[in-house]
Amino acid sequence: MTTLEDARALDVTDPLGPMRERFALADGVIYLDGNSLGPLPRQTIDRQHDAVTRQWGEDLIRSWNDNDWIGAPQRIGSKIAALIGAKPHEVVVTDSVSVNLFKLIVAAVATQPDRRQIFFLNVNLTTDIYTAGGAAGVLADHIVQTEQADDLADALGPDSALLMLTHVHYKTGARHNMEVLTEKAHDAGALALWDLSHSVGAIPVDLNGCGVDLAVGCGYKYLNGGPGAPAFLYVHEDLQDGLRSPLSGWMGHEAPFEFRDDYAPAPGISRFLCGTPPVLSLLALESGVELFGDTDMAQIATKSAALFDLFADWMDERCENHGLTLVTPRDPARRGSHISYTHPDGWPIIQALIERGVIGDFRAPDILRFGLTPLYTSHEDVWQAVDILGEILDDEIWREPRFSQAKAVT
């Protein structure tokens, strides 16, 4: 039997335990939805106030220089690079994941003119599939094709231009093998583009070590950058000057302040910028990313695995015979940092949990999803969450009509 004391004992020796105090999480809330929206870092309150009142209010237009707003996309990008095995000049913060995917898909395919330019997708975020479809709609003669990972070696061939993959699946939490699949793409002469939205900040990522060509990722999940925080993109240094973004806005120009009529892309990663960035959201992201400077990804990965094992083991004991099925792989190398179960009544069960202060989320049609975020989730949180879920299931509290009525949102 896994006891509350066991969980508390793990918290005592947790090197990341003190990080919890860096977040403004209310007492009585067990927040297991950081994989959807990371919570507010305490330091972000003052930093955002400074961004609004001093940088914008007092320094006004001069802030582009004096507070280096102009350098923020590259500056924050270099901090994210340290979390994903990239060089500082290989990452830039800009736009949304969807917009960045579009840029990289169109730019990458243009470098493969001798190929029939088929995209191979695997189980991806739906927005990735939507974006790829939109890009293919613009690029005549391109086909978006979906394959399963196991069939990839057979499917990839001389016509393949680009392999797009989501590192960690947003529903199941299953993780693809970045090194192996990138190599398969390269063996076929295709480029590899990875979506890190559900892995950056949660598990170790080694883009350079795996030879990854292109990547995108989300700022508002594990990076705790605030709601809808700008996204980032990565382009391997060897590819940067050979790629042209189809979204050629003024911030990606080699000399944006010369206001010339002709477009010349900036050298390096800056050419993937487009319009003026949303500075307030950008600076909130920087604050979130900087918290990682006081940790290391190995500690984070170790705790992620420990939280997962505690959750899964305690679920086996506490919630057995209630119809919940674990859909996340148990092998730490094959998963991210959230754990998912299926249950036909997943929606009302999650609503009942939220009423009890345990915030997980639901993904249609039947997935209960719990983010296990090493920076601020304690082992006791995990134990209590499972125990409360057990009570809700034992007493069939979720069958109360009000839990079926609420509306779903992200």
Site for a second copy in 97-156 (CB under 8 A): 97-99, 102, 106, 126-127, 129-131, 133-135, 137-140
* Closer residue to a second copy (CB): 9 or 29: 29
x/- track of binding to a second copy for residues 258-297 (CB under 8 A): xxxx-x----------xxxxxxxxx-x-------------
How many CB atoms are located within 10 Å of the residue 238 CB? 9
Tokens at residue 133, please? 């479809």
Q: Of 39, 77, 85, 346, which lies in the binding site for a second copy, with binding defined by CB under 8 A?
A: 39
Tokens of 329: 């792989």
Return d(Cα 350, Cα 339) in angstroms, integer.
Answer: 14
Judged by CB under 8 A, which stretch of 5-13, 45-53, 84-92, 186-194 contacts a second copy?
45-53
Rounded CA-CA distance 167/196 in Å is: 6
CB atoms under 10 Å from CB of 299, counted, come to: 15
Residues 333-372 touching a second copy, rule: CB under 8 A, are 354, 359, 361, 363-364
Q: Which is nearer to a second copy, 91 or 188 (CB)?
A: 91
**Based on CB atoms, which residue is closest to a second copy, 106 or 215?**
106
**What CA–CA distance (Å, rounded) separates 309 from 319?**
15
Candidate segments 2-10, 90-98, 300-308, 396-404, binder of a second copy by CB under 8 A: 90-98
Nearer to a second copy, 176 or 318 (CB): 176
Give the contact letters, 231-250, x = binds to a second copy (CB under 8 A), - = no: x------------xxxxxxx
Cα separation, 290 vs 223, in Å, equals 9
Size of the site for a second copy (CB under 8 A): 89
Cβ closest to a second copy, residue 68 vs residue 316 = 68
Q: Is residue 230 at the binding interface for a second copy, with CB under 8 A as the rule?
A: yes
Which strand ranges, in their side-by-side order, compose the sheet holding 367-371? 325-326, 338-342, 367-371, 361-363
> Residue 124 is encoded by which pair of tokens?
């991806």
By CB under 8 A, is residue 44 in contact with a second copy? yes
| Spatial CA neighbour of 86 closest among 269, 320, 322 | 269
Task: Kindly write down the DSSP assignment for every residue of 174-191, as one continuous string.
Answer: BB--HHHHHHHHHHTT-E
Site for a second copy in 303-322 (CB under 8 A): none
Instruction: Tell me the backbone φ, ψ of residue 234, rounded to 5 degrees.
Output: -125, 135
Which of residues 1, 12, 13, 26 is near a second copy by CB under 8 A? Answer: 26
Name residues contacting a second copy, limited to 162-191 (CB under 8 A): 171
Query: Least distance from C-beta 55 to a second copy, angstroms?
Result: 8
Site for a second copy in 47-66 (CB under 8 A): 48-49, 52-53, 55-58, 60-65
In angstroms, how far is the first alpha carbon of the chain from the final one?
A: 35
CB-based contact 199:174 (threshold 8 Å):
no
